[in-house]
Amino acid sequence: MKVLIVEDDPLHRSYLLEAVCSALPECRDVLEAENGADGEKMAREHKSAHIVMDLQMNARNGIEAARTIWKERPDTRILFWSNYSDEAYVRGVSRIVPDGAAYGYVLKSASDERLKLALRSIFVEAQCVIDREVRGMQQKSLGQVRGFSDSEYEILVDIALGLTDRTIARRRGLSIRSVQNRLQQLYEKLGVYQMSVEDSDEGRFNLRARAVTVALLRKLLNYSALERAEAELNDWLRSH
């Protein structure tokens, strides 16, 4: 067995190396990459390697690296080890996992034993291991709790990118009315509403801008999610 550690923090890489060696005595070789770009390259060179991956890294983050790796080798087993349980990260991972893939999402705040159990469960037994806090966010993001449906989340991302209702409708294959209805649903779920100003016909807020601000404060959106969305938007614009 080979394990590839993809982590930009040297202390965290050292900790993961100890955890892997302790949890997986049958591991013959532990490889290390300092960022997502190097991780992709090493994953191609060592095709049988299982991967422990940080999410937030410079020079290509973990979600982008994992998407490339899974596209080339869908049976790769990946354990995401992250400080973040934000909905933006959880959605980012959920969108790219291939059907039937064994993967995990464990927070860096988890105990040593929890991390070691996850390593063995995923890499030896091919079981998925998701921390409870992350699992709760997954259920919320999938609409099993009062969260956002995928279509509502797409609209949120589109207004964060500055798209008009008409452009959103073209991009998503919707009517203008459907876009506006989903915007109203977003505003309701985000608790965004217009506050009137005395002696004025205008309200206090631009609701679209306010919705994006609230989403950022609630960690529904982050830089990585918007960076991916901007790249996808540019691809769409080039083809339309």
CB 156 within 8 A of CB 215: yes
Question: 188 falls in which pLDDT band (50, 70, 90)?
Answer: confident
Q: What is the DSSP letter of 98?
A: P
pLDDT for position 71: 94
Confirm if 137 and 219 have CB atoms less than 8 A apart.
no
What is the tens place of the pLDDT at every residue in 198-240? Answer: 555 566 778 899 999 988 888 788 888 888 889 899 999 999 8
Closest CA relative to residue 182, chosen from 159, 161, 214, 204:
159
Task: Express each pLDDT in 128-185 by its tens digit.
Answer: 998 877 776 665 555 544 567 778 889 999 999 999 999 999 999 999 999 998 898 8
Question: 86 or 160: which carries more pLDDT confidence?
Answer: 160
Q: Is 132 exposed, middle or buried (0-12, 13-18, 19+ CB in 10 A)?
A: exposed
- The pLDDT value given to residue 144: 43
CA distances from residue 180 to 152, 175, 183 in whole angstroms, order as listed: 11, 9, 5
164, amino acid identity: T
pLDDT on residue 112: 94
Q: What's the CA gap between 61 and 53, in Å, rounded? A: 9
Whether the Cβ atoms of residue 79 and residue 6 lie closer than 8 Å to each other: no
C-alpha distance from residue 38 to each of 11, 53, 77, 163, 174 (Å): 18, 12, 18, 34, 40
Extract the tokens encoding 223: 């830089």
DSSP at 35: S
**What is the C-alpha separation between 138 and 82, in angstroms, rounded?**
15
Tokens 């923090």 — which residue? 9
User: What would the pLDDT profile of 40-66 be if each residue is shown by its tens digit?
Assistant: 999 999 999 999 999 989 878 999 999
Report whether pLDDT(194) > 80: no
Residue 13 has pLDDT above 90, yes or no: yes
Residue 214: DSSP 8-state: H
**In the prediction, which pLDDT does 148 show?**
75
Which domains does the chain show, CATH number per domain?
A: 2-140 (3.40.50.2300), 145-239 (1.10.10.10)
What is the rounded CA–CA span in Å between residue 59 and residue 44?
17
* pLDDT at residue 28 tops 60: yes
